[in-house]
């Protein structure tokens, strides 16, 4: 975890409310854009329960970090990753859309984006 340092620091990142607020916009944009490419123009707002599923399907679930809101952790991670140039929104849309074209569900596709950013930049 070169950019984030210790697991305790990573937990702080995943718990930051301001990052989660930005991540909310990022995840909704990426999900809406990828679904629009697949099905035609659409806009969605993903729920906290849905984001918990994304968390559980992603590499974040393997880190054994307790005491965080899983949905907000997904949003915070995506904001952190975007702010630190781990992916652009365009790249995020491409990854998610590519997964959808392969038959994956949206939660699996978003988890794939998280895994890609994590593995390429934090391991």
Question: Over the chain, what is the mean pLDDT?
Answer: 93
Question: For residue 5, what pLDDT band results from cuts at 50, 70 and 90?
Answer: low
pTM of the model: 0.92
- Per-residue pLDDT for 3 more than 70? no
Segment among 7-11, 60-64, 87-91 with least mean pLDDT: 7-11
- Per-residue pLDDT for 1 more than 70? no
Summarize pLDDT for 93-102 with one digit per residue, the tens.
999 999 999 9
Is-contact 7 65, C-beta < 8 A?
A: yes
Summarize pLDDT for 14-27 with one digit per residue, the tens.
999 999 999 999 99
Is-contact 35 42, C-beta < 8 A?
A: yes
CATH number of 7-121: 1.10.1520.20
CA angle centred on 13, ends 10 and 19, rounded to 5°: 155
User: In this structure, what DSSP letter does residue 122 have?
Assistant: -
Write down the domain spans for the chain.
7-121
């Amino acid at each position: 975890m070169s950019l984030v340092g210790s697991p305790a620091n990573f937990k702080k990142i995943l718990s930051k409310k301001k990052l989660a607020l930005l991540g909310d916009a990022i995840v909704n944009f990426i999900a809406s854009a990828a679904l629009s490419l697949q099905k035609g123009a659409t806009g969605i707002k993903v729920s906290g329960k849905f984001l918990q599923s994304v968390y559980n399907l992603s590499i974040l679930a393997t880190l054994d970090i307790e005491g965080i809101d899983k949905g907000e952790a997904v949003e915070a991670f995506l904001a952190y990753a975007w702010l630190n140039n781990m992916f652009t929104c365009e790249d995020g849309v491409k990854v998610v859309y590519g997964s959808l074209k392969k038959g994956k569900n949206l939660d699996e596709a978003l988890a794939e984006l998280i895994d890609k950013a994590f593995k390429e930049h934090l391991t």
